[in-house]
Amino acid sequence: MTEMTRRERILTASRGERADKLPFFHWWRHSQIGWAERECRNRGMGMAWARPSYTVELRDVDVVEQPVVVEGVKVLRRTYNTPMGSIYLDEKREPGTGEWHGMRSWQDVSPWQTERLIKQPEDYEVLKFIVEHTVYTADYFPIEQAKDWLGEDGCVVDIHPHSPMQMLMIDWIGSEGGRFFIHYAKYHDLVEDLYRAISKSREPMYEISARSPADVIWCGDNIDGVLVNPRLFEQYFMPEYEKMAKPIHRQGKLFASHMDGRVDVLKDLIAQTPLDIVEGLHPPPMGDLPIGEALSLWKDKVVWMGFAGSVYTLGPEATKKHTLELLREVLPGDRLTIAMSTENLVSNENLRMVTSVLENVDLPLTGEKIGVIEKSLG
Amino acid sequence: MAVEKYLSSLKEGIINLDFGTVVNAAKEAMAAGVDPNATINKGMVAGMAVVGDKFEKGEYFLSELVVAAEVMKEGVEVVKPYLKGSSTLGLGKVVMATVEGDHHDLGKNIVTSLLGVQGFQVFDLGIDVPTARIVGAVKEHQPAIVGMSALLTLTMTKMGEVIEALKSASLREKVKIIIGGTSVTTEFADRIGADHRAANALEGVKKCVEWVTSSERRQ
């Protein structure tokens, strides 16, 4: 077999076919730049890059940002003024917020919402207006550019925001202190009504992304079975995935969702989704579903696994041991790719160690081959 | 209405996650002169015990546990003005915090609520709490237990920093330390010198109760 490019490797495995080697890659968003990253890429590590296929415009909504001090803390208040009333959120912004981690540090990249958009029942109506006046327009330049730049070095994925109920849970109501669950119990009709409005407003966006030049359409859904319990998943997430998948599959693309939490409790339901790729799965010790079990259960799906950050904290030797154990669980190594991290940064030493284990993983993988790799590492 | 009926309404209201039923039953019980401690312990706490049981059996999920704790909180608020003394705060003090750099508090808040229900006096320092503030709270409140939470591998190392700071302040031996969060493993807890890693909120609370009711208690 001619040696595949990194892009071919990732996409071949993602279609459920056998690649020449086990694909492994780093997300551009999490990657360092420098000698170790270059060395690892030269040794077979691919790159994945998530970029959007659309722009968003809010019609009849006036957005104003101003710094304010709340209980002694400086925050940025963003107020959305609509004919139905106004709502606001507060963000705590450390130096470096909104920039790439290479500008400062990973910790500062995302702002913290210290006040959510939805605080009281009256806010639902205002947010529903905003949702219903959100317009999505195709803009494929970021994906075309990334594909041009990456070439055969990796894979560009089109990124969707959180699915509608996750948007409510994580972004707009917030899960801190169980807020979402309390709203869901107390203001059930309002939550469901807004969920339906978001789902409806997203339909044009799903069509746009399905037609994008990306090979994989990826919903960054951050699924964790502790928060998204099976009842919620079945009622609100599975139908939305069905809706997203239809145009994606019509265009011959692959559909992925980010499921980086504890998903054991959801495993049977995930099996029933139209997802092609379960992205970000973290087996133990961070997650609770072993990779071997996941692959065995989801026969028609591919796993883009996320390497456990908690193992990295134990150093390169522990990282080597863990990687070899993972390989023993996934024989013959099909329907799997490994991401160096989906969470934060990886040290040069750990990046090189994972690469040392994975660079020679020819498929189909056997126990004997793993023994040879282990021996070569000393 | 007989006392048992009020208590039954409170218990069922907690089990069914029904804010209205619990708040109304608590108001009616107080108006009828029902013992406030019985209202809490034989009504609401009894309901929480069933919720906890359902959670452990997998019939209820975390979301139900959160809502039940909130329903109970609203019920207790009704009863609080009628309570004389602090009969529900007999198990000792706990300082709780999500460590610096982390703003995830779902698990911590459930543990905080459940510890309160069990009879602990909880000092919840909130999220993104600097090490010095946790140490300061331990000095000030002299708790039996310190609980720390972190979701991210990026921030969980702060827990080790807090333990070292407690050692430097000669406070480490005076408290039990329990930690929790998605990324936190037993191995990590051992490495940083914590006493226990909570597998989940209920298990963590059980461990706290076990500590203060056993010979290991450090007061």
State the smallest CA–CA distance between residue B61 and chain A in angstroms: 6
Indicate yes or no: CB of A177 within 8 angstroms of CB of B106.
yes
Q: Cα(B72)–Cα(B40) distance, rounded to whole angstroms?
A: 9
Average pLDDT, chain A: 95
Contact status of B69 with chain A (Cβ, < 8 Å): yes
B199 in contact with A, Cβ within 8 Å: no
End-to-end CA gap in chain A: 29
Residue from A51, A47, A1 nearest A23 by CA? A47
Counting beta carbons within 10 angstroms of the beta carbon of residue A92, is it exposed (0 to 12), middle (13 to 18) or buried (19 or more)?
A: middle
Percentage above 90 pLDDT, chain A:
87
With an 8 Å Cβ cutoff, is B213 touching chain A?
A: no
Query: Which residues in chain B show pLDDT less than 70?
Result: 1, 84-89, 215-219
Mean pLDDT of A63-78: 94
Closest CA to B95 of B42, B43, B138: B138
Q: Is the CB of residue B69 less than 8 Å from the CB of residue B117?
A: yes
Interface test with A, best of B23, B66, B71, B73 (most A CBs within 10 A): B66
- Give the domain ranges of chain A: 6-58+133-377, 60-118
For residue range A201-210, what is the model confidence (pLDDT) as tens digits? 999 999 999 9
Q: Could you tell me the CA-to-CA distances from B75 to B26, B54, B72, B79 in Å, in that order?
A: 6, 21, 5, 7
Ranking A52-56, A83-87, B49-53, B175-179 by mean pLDDT, the lowest is B49-53
User: Using a CB-CB distance cutoff of 8 angstroms, which residues of chain B are in contact with residue A310?
Assistant: 153, 156, 183-185, 188
The dihedral sign for the CA sequence B7, B8, B9, B11:
positive
Fold exhibited by the domain A6-58+133-377: TIM Barrel (3.20.20)
Residue B57 touches partner A, C-beta closer than 8 Å: no
Domains of chain B in start order, with CATH, are 3-82 (1.10.1240.10), 92-213 (3.40.50.280)
H/E element holding A135? strand A134-138
* Pick from A102-116, A268-282, A353-367, B119-133: least confident: A102-116
User: Residue A343: CA atoms inside 13 Å, Cβ hemisphere, count?
Assistant: 25
Helices (H), A78-171: 122-132, 141-150, 164-166
3-state secondary structure of A281: strand
| Contacts A–B by Cβ distance under 8 A | 78
**pLDDT score at B88:** 52
B115-130 residue pLDDT tens: 877 778 899 998 889 9
Q: Give the pair of three-digit tokens for residue A237.
A: 């997430």
What the block records as the tokens of B88 is: 């529900």
Task: For residue B54, give both structure tokens.
Answer: 């359902």
CB-CB under 8 Å, B62 with A229: yes
Peptide bond into A364 cis (omega under 30): yes
Strand A85-92 versus strand A112-115 pairing type: antiparallel
pLDDT tens readout for residues A249-267: 999 999 999 999 999 999 9
* H, E, C per residue of chain B: CCHHHHHHHHHHHHHCCCHHHHHHHHHHHHHCCCCHHHHHHHHHHHHHHHHHHHHHHCCCCHHHHHHHHHHHHHHHHHHHHHCCCCCCCCCEEEEEEEECCCCCCHHHHHHHHHHHHHCEEEEECCCCECHHHHHHHHHHHCCCEEEEECCCHHHHHHHHHHHHHHHHCCCHHHCEEEEECCCCCHHHHHHHCCCEECCCHHHHHHHHHHHHHCCCCCC
Q: Tell whether the torsion through CA atoms of A29, A34, A36 and A39 is positive or negative.
A: positive
Axis crossing angle, helix B62-79 with helix B106-118, rounded to the nearest 10: 50
Q: Give A1→chain B minimum CA distance, Å.
A: 40
CA distance B105 to chain A (A): 5
Contacts of B127 in chain A (CB under 8 A): 176
CB distance B7 to B21 below 8 Å: no
* Cα B159–Cα B162–Cα B166 angle in degrees, nearest 5: 145
Bridge-based pairing of strands B145-149 and B92-98 is: parallel
Which among A181, A224, A309 has the least Cβ separation from residue B153?
Answer: A309
Rounded percentage of chain A residues whose pLDDT exceeds 70: 99
Q: What pLDDT does A92 receive? A: 87
CB contact under 8 A, B185 and A343: no
Give the burial class of A65: count Cβ atoms within 10 A of its Cβ; 0-12 exposed, 13-18 middle, 19 or more buried. exposed
Q: Which of B104, B128, B188 sits opposite A310 (nearest CB)?
A: B188
Helix (H) / strand (E) element for A192: namely helix A188-210
Taking CB atoms and an 8 Å limit, are B152 and A344 in contact across chains? yes
Return the structure tokens found at A93: 């912004």
Sorted by sequence, the CB contacts under 8 Å of residue A237 that are 6+ apart come out as A163, A165, A166, A221, A223, A228
